[in-house]
Every structure is written in structure tokens, then in C-alpha cells.
Chains A and B, each alone.
Chain A
Amino acid sequence: MSPVTSKDARIALFQQWFSDNIPHNKALGLKVIGASRGFASMQLDWREEFVGNPETGVLAGGPLTAMLDGCCGMSVATMLKAPEPFATLDLRIDYVRPAEPGKPVIAEAECYRITRSVAFTRAFAHHGDAKDPIAAAAGTFMLGTKGRPTRLPPGDKP
């Protein structure tokens, strides 16, 4: 794979790898808004079917869980020298305050340590101000699992 230098081109590639080619992320409509070494950022737009409490319009935990899992995973992918399959080992989420109905949610994940077998990540979800989080996450990922790298779209040879 040739190195991708432009920021927009990098985001477009990660959008393809981590949203368009992953059916559940695509169903959530996840948008990749940032990708650099060790960092990943995504946006989830509010939709009626993501609501947990129809009276308040507050999001269920599930869409945030799926988004934070995906965003932490993408931060791992930005650290890999060569594409390699990996899988979530565990994921902890603290729901620190309710998401506000109708507002998009932004997730920002960091892969702060990677070893041969395990990658360590943390993430926050917020409405635009990272100092006022909706949720905090910590995820670990097992590297070198079976399967094919997430980064390769179906049909491409590794």
C-alpha cells in the first residue's frame, strides 16, 4: 500500500475500512472525522432508532458501545506497520452523563500502547467539548488473531 499523505485521503480510506466495509458501523452511519498515528475520531448522528428512552429521546447505551468499540479499534489500526487482524479483548464503558437528544456524538480514541500481542486504548464520547464527556471507554485488543485485516476491503489481497 502506498503511503497516504493527505489528511482527507487518509480519512476517506479509514471511512472505507472502518465504516463502509463494516456492516454494523455502516448501519449506525458512523463517519470517520479524524485519523492519525495512534488517534481515531468518529461521529454518530442522532437517530430515532438509537433511542433507549422514548420519553426523553436519550440514546441507549448500545450505539455508544458499538461506536466506542469501533473507534478504539480504528486507533489500533493507525498504529500497525503492516495490516494485521485483531479482535477486542475487553471494553469498559463509563456512562458519565446522558447524551442530549438530537445532537451528534463524537468519539475520540487513542491507542497509547501497543505490544506484539496486545494494544491498549482509551476513548471519550462527547457533543463537541471533550472536557464535558458523555462516556469514557477503555479497550484492549488482541493482535494477530485469525481472519483478515480490517483495513483491507473485501476482494483485496493481503
Chain B
Amino acid sequence: MSALLTRLAEARKEGNVARLAEAIPYARWMQIAPENGTGELLTRMRYHPELIGNTFLPAIHGGTLGAMLEMAAIFHLLWETETETVPKIVNITVDYLRSARPVDVIACAKVTKQGRRMVNVFAEAWQEDRSRPVATANAHFLVKSDADAPPSL
């Protein structure tokens, strides 16, 4: 069993989803972590100056929004579905709706279609106002273990 799935079991026992991020070096570096204080699973990317992509506006780098939407989808699949493997991302399409200001970004995800091997996930990111999303994404993940399966986690 992978370290992430071990961590998942521990996080479930403690009821503390934030522990999932501890097992992923990239999530720690980016300060991306899930939280469920409100009863809903959300993923937060804490603002820090290294997220900036446009110093003039200033605005958060689009690539980091794509990255956090992907992480939000993964945390959602790990926490809210009965997955027994770490989901492997196949592809993601990110739509950029507004420039993201230098404050925290929050995202939620939901499963659009759960198949036996493949899951389609929708994720949405916003800042202060949830009705004004900064970016949305659709992603496919393989959720059945398969030696030939694609990337990334």
C-alpha cells in the first residue's frame, strides 16, 4: 500500500483530511491542502509571493491554478470515494475565467461520472466570492490499478 493510502487511512481515523497533503512533496511546496472544517471538502492554496505569474496586475500564475484544481480533484477522489488506489490523472482541461488576485484560492471538486476504471471530475476555484470563480477544470483519472496506466501520481 502506498504511503499516501496509509496516510489516508490515518487521516480518516483522525477525521483530519489536511494530513493527506503531508504525504505529497509538491502539495507541501505549493501550500496546497484539503480542509473539511465546514463539512464540505475544500482545497486551499495559501497565497505566497512565489505563486505570482503577472507582477503588474498582480495575478496568480495560471499554471498554479491548474495545479491546485488537479490537487483538489485528487483529494476529493481520495476522501469522498472508496478508492483503493491513488488516482492517476489522464488529462485535464482548465478554463481561466478571471485573473486571480494575490490572496488564497479555494477549490471544490465533484465526480461527474464514476466508471469502473475511469472517473470524470469537475473542479472549480474561487477567491473571496464563490459565485465568481477564477478557474474551472474537467479531468479524467484512472482509478483501477494497472501497471500500464499513465501518470502522474
Interface residues of A (CB under 8 A from B): 21-27, 48-55, 58-70, 85, 87-99, 134-135, 146-148, 150, 154
Contacts and interface: CB of A to CB of B under 8 A. Distances in A.
Q: How large is the interface on B (under 10, 10 to 19, 20 to 34, 35 or more residues)?
A: 35 or more
Q: Which of B2, B28, B53 has the most CB of A within 10 A?
A: B53
The secondary-structure label for the interface of chain A is mixed
B96 A92 contact: no
B75 to A, nearest CB: 12
Contact of B153 (A27, A52, A67, A134): A52
Contact of B52 (A22, A58, A61): A22
Contact of B86 (A53, A66, A68): A53
Given A87-B99, A95-B90, A53 B4 contact: yes
Contacts of A64: 152
B1 to A, nearest CB: 10
B84 interface: no
Interface stretch (B8-16, B56-64, B112-120, B124-132): B56-64
Interface string B34-65: 00000000000000011111111101011110
B92 interface: yes
B123 interface: no
A107 to B, nearest CB: 11
Given A63-B26, A65-B67, A66-B64, A23 B55 contact: yes
A99 B56 CA distance: 33
A133 B59 CA distance: 30
Contacts of A98: 150-152
A92 B66 CA distance: 10
Contacts of B94: 65, 90-92
Contact of A58 (B30, B61, B99, B153): B153
B63 A154 contact: no
Contact of A24 (B2, B3, B53): B53
A47 to B, nearest CB: 9
A87 B134 CA distance: 13
Given A27-B50, A148-B56, A54 B96 contact: no
Contacts of A58: 151-153
Nearest to A53: B153
A120 to B, nearest CB: 15
B145 interface: no
B5 to A, nearest CB: 10
Nearest to B99: A87
Nearest to A136: B91
A95 B152 contact: yes
6 contacts: A23-B52, A66-B67, A69-B61, A95-B90, A95-B150, A147-B56
B95 A60 contact: no
Contacts of A154: 55-56
